[in-house]
Structure 1
Amino acid sequence: MHLSQDIKPISYLKSNTAQVVSSATETQRAIYITQNGEAKVVIQDIKSFENTQNTLTLLKLIVQSENEINENKVIEQENMFQNLEEKLFHENL
């Protein structure tokens, strides 16, 4: 994080919106907007946002998988493939 460049007051955003959007897009760094000295919002380019969302989704899947392992909700690999083949076979009938 480059605090001197990435934290801007809302008044700066109001008068330099295009520049803020351009900067966020070019640098792919988030820009933190403050109001009355407190952080209020984050402006982020869409690619970085999508990457963040994809990362969160993967992390949620990992946690869910770990929970299922801990709760012994697992299926032997051979049984899983057999169940999958049966489902695929029945769908094609």
Structure 2
Amino acid sequence: MKLSGRVKPISYLKAHAPEVIRGLAGGEAPVIITLHGEAKAVLQDVGRYEETQETLALLKVLALTNKEIEAGRIRPVDEAFKRVRGRLKD
């Protein structure tokens, strides 16, 4: 996703806020907001933000799982389920 065309100064956002928000809700790419020529914020649709957060959470789970595998702290699935069933009986 190329964001270079989506960089806007904060004055643009102030003058065109409803238009920018409608565009985001309509599926447009996020907008980079600048202040004094420096990128300071990213404005995006809340649905897309939630999707991004869910994706990051899944990636964190995968990274933790890979660390567990590398550390040798894994068990065969049969053994793991056997232990869980044993705990549930208690």
Could you tell me whether the CA contact under 8 Å between 1:28 and 1:48 is conserved in 2? no
SS of the equivalent of 2:29 reads coil
Show the counterpart of 2:56: 56
The amino acid that maps onto 1:51 is E
How far is 1:3 from its partner? 2.6
How far is 1:63 from its partner? 0.7
Deviations along 1:24-74, whole A, 9 cap, x unmatched? Answer: 111241111011111000001011111111111111111101100110011
Moved over 3 A (4+): none
The amino acid that maps onto 1:47 is G
Q: Could you list the runs of 5+ residues in structure 2 that have no partner in the other structure? A: none
Identity over the aligned pairs, expressed in percent?
A: 33
Show the counterpart of 1:88: 88
Pairwise CA RMSD: 1.3
1:1-93 equivalences under 5 Å are 1-4=2-5, 6-90=6-90
Once residues 2 and 57 of structure 1 are traced to their aligned partners in structure 2, the CA distance between those partners, rounded to angstroms, is: 24
Could you tell me whether the CA contact under 8 Å between 1:7 and 1:31 is conserved in 2? yes
TM-score computed with the length of structure 2 as normaliser: 0.89
Once residues 68 and 40 of structure 2 are traced to their aligned partners in structure 1, the CA distance between those partners, rounded to angstroms, is: 37
TM-score computed with the length of structure 1 as normaliser: 0.86
